[in-house]
Amino acid sequence: MTPEEFRLAGHELIDWIADYRSNVEQRPVRAQVDPGQVRAAFSTSPPQSPMSADQLLRDIEQKIVPGITQVQHPMHYGWFPSNASLASTLGDIASSGLGTLGISWESCPALTEVEEVVCDWMRQLTGLSDSWEGCIQDTASTACLTALLIARERASDYSETRGGLQAEDKPLLVYTTEEAHSSVAKAALLAGFGRDNLRMVPMVEESRAMSGPALASQIEADFAAGYLPCAIVASVGSTGVTAFDPVNEIVEIAVEHGIWVHVDAAMAGSAMLLPECRHLWEGVELADSISWNPHKWMGTILDCSLLYVRDVQHLVRVMSTNPSYLRSTVDAEVKQYRDWGIPLGRRFRALKLWYHLSVDGIDAIRERLRRDLDNAQWFAEQVARQEHWQVLTPVKLQTVCIRHQPPGLSGEALDRHTLGWVNAINQSGKAFMSPSQLDGRWMVRVSIGVEASTRAHLEKLWNLIRAQAEEVVQG
C-alpha cells in the first residue's frame, strides 16, 4: 500500500469509525453470535489475491461487528468500564502511523521521553509524590508479575544471579486475599513462588478488605515457622465488590519486616484523579510499587497500564540484560524502558495518554468520573429503597452489587432466579451486566462508568431490571 492509497482508505476508515461510534447505542450490547460463528465467516485458507480496503471495511461491518460486545454502549454495565476515548484513539492511530521501534532510547528518543513526561503528569494528577517514577505496561497483569519478580529478587538478595528460587533455603511467601484479582495469583505462580506459598489473608466480613491484624499475625507465624515473607499485594478497589485493602495498616506491617508492597489499583486508580477519593489509598507513599489502568474507567484506549516504583535502580537491576547490540554512548543519561519490564520492543503508547489528557482535558475527565460516582449512589438508593431488593456491599466507587430477593426464595432457587433475570436481559441485547458470586451465591454487578452512559440510561436500566425480575417471578 502506498501512502496515497493509505490516505484514501484511511479517510474512509475514520469516517466509518466516527459513524460507528455515533450509532453504537442502536446495536445490541452483547455480541449476538454463537461460538465459532465469526470464524466460520472467514475462509479457512489465507487470501490468494489482494483485496481492496473497501472490501475489508464491508467485512468489518458484516462479519466483525456482530461479534463485538459493545463495551462503549451506554447500556453496558458488565465487568468494568473499558472506555476508549476518541481523543486517545487518535493518539493510538498516530502511534501506529509513525511506525516507531521502541527497543532503546536511541531507536526512538521521543518514545522514551514522552513516556517519561506523561507518566510524570499522571503521577501528579493522582497526587503521588515525586519519589515515584513510572512507565507504561500493557496490562495490570504484566505490571503485577513485574512487581512480584522484583519483590522476589529483593527478598532473596538477587537469587536470579545464583541458583534462582530453586536454590533458596526458605520458601518465599506472597500475601493477598481471596478478593484479589485472579491476575495476582497468576503472577505469584508464574514468578515461581508456588501455590503453597501464596497466603490468602482473612478479610473483614462486610467490606471484604484484608484484615490488618490477621495479616500481622499470619506474618509472625510464618517467620516463626521458618518462611520468608516476601510481598503483599494490596487490592485498592477489587474487581468483584470494589474492596479496599487498608494500605496504611499494610505498609506499617510491611515496613517493619522489609516486605514488598504492591498496590493493585487497576480499576480504582482512575478515582485517584479525584482528590476526594485519595483517602481510599492512604498510606500508598510507603508502598513499593503501584499499578493502575488508564485503559479502564479513565478511558485511555487499551492497552495502557501504569506501573510506578520508588526504587528504579532495583527494578532495572533485576530486569536489565544489556546485550552489546543495544548499548550506546548515552546510556548513562537516558532511560532504557526495556529494563523496566519484560518486553524488549514497545509501542509508542505515551501518545494516546498525551492525546487523551490534552484533547479531552483533565477537567472533563474528572467531571465524568464524578458524574459516575453520583450515578452509582443514585442507582444504589433506588435499589435499596425498593421492597425485596438489596445492595449487597458498600458502594465505594461506581460498582453496585445487587440482588432481588422475593419472599420465599433462598439457596439454589434464589440463584436460579438471579441468573434467570440477568441472563434474560443480557441475551436481549438491551443491557449487559455481570453475574458474579458473593460468598457462594449469585448476585449481579452493575458496573457504571461508560463514557456515554447518563442518568437517563440508568433509569432505563432500573426499569428494565425490575420488569424482568418480576416477570421471572410470575412466570
Chain residues that interact with ligand PLP, rule: CB under 6 A:
80, 139-141, 181, 183, 235, 238-239, 264, 266-267, 293, 305
431 touches 29 (CB < 8 A): yes
Residue 183 Cβ, how far from ligand PLP at the closest point, in Å?
A: 5
Place of cell 484506549: 301
Residue 181 Cβ, how far from ligand PLP at the closest point, in Å?
A: 3
Q: Which three cell numbers stand for residue 336?
A: 532504557
**Dihedrals phi, psi of 396, to nearest 5 degrees:** -85, -35
- For 22, the enclosing helix (H) or strand (E) is helix 3-22
CB nearer ligand PLP, residue 183 or residue 218: 183
CB nearer ligand PLP, residue 180 or residue 251: 180
**Dihedrals phi, psi of 74, to nearest 5 degrees:** -65, -10
Residue 356 Cβ, how far from ligand PLP at the closest point, in Å?
A: 17
Q: Which three cell numbers stand for residue 172?
A: 518465599
Residue 180 Cβ, how far from ligand PLP at the closest point, in Å?
A: 7
CB nearer ligand PLP, residue 241 or residue 253: 241
Number of CB atoms found within 10 A of residue 213's CB: 11
CB nearer ligand PLP, residue 270 or residue 382: 270
Cα 31 from chain centroid (whole Å): 21
CB nearer ligand PLP, residue 236 or residue 414: 236
CB nearer ligand PLP, residue 288 or residue 303: 303
What is the spatial distance between Cα 305 and Cα 295, in angstroms, rounded to a whole number? Answer: 7
Residue 242 Cβ, how far from ligand PLP at the closest point, in Å?
A: 9
Strands 228-235 and 172-176: parallel
CA nearest 150: which of 266, 306, 305, 289? 289
Give the number of C-alpha atoms closer than 13 A to the C-alpha of residue 11, restricted to the C-beta side. 5
Residue 133 Cβ, how far from ligand PLP at the closest point, in Å?
A: 20
Residue 143 Cβ, how far from ligand PLP at the closest point, in Å?
A: 8
Residue 237 Cβ, how far from ligand PLP at the closest point, in Å?
A: 6
Q: Which three cell numbers stand for residue 156?
A: 532473596
Cα 423 from chain centroid (whole Å): 24
129 touches 138 (CB < 8 A): no
Residue 138 Cβ, how far from ligand PLP at the closest point, in Å?
A: 7
DSSP for residue 301:
P
DSSP for residue 463:
H
CB nearer ligand PLP, residue 257 or residue 278: 278
CA nearest 243: which of 425, 356, 392? 392
DSSP 3-state of 181: coil
Residue 98 Cβ, how far from ligand PLP at the closest point, in Å?
A: 24
CB nearer ligand PLP, residue 60 or residue 438: 438
CB nearer ligand PLP, residue 303 or residue 360: 303
CB nearer ligand PLP, residue 89 or residue 293: 293
Residue 319 Cβ, how far from ligand PLP at the closest point, in Å?
A: 19
CB nearer ligand PLP, residue 81 or residue 229: 81
DSSP for residue 84:
-
Number of CB atoms found within 10 A of residue 344's CB: 14
438 touches 392 (CB < 8 A): yes
Name 96's Cβ contacts closer than 8 Å, sequence gap at least 6.
none
DSSP 3-state of 231: strand
Q: Which three cell numbers stand for residue 1?
A: 500500500
- What Rg value do the Cα atoms of the chain yield, rounded? 24
- DSSP codes of every residue in 63-89: IIGGG---TTSTTEESSS-----HHHH
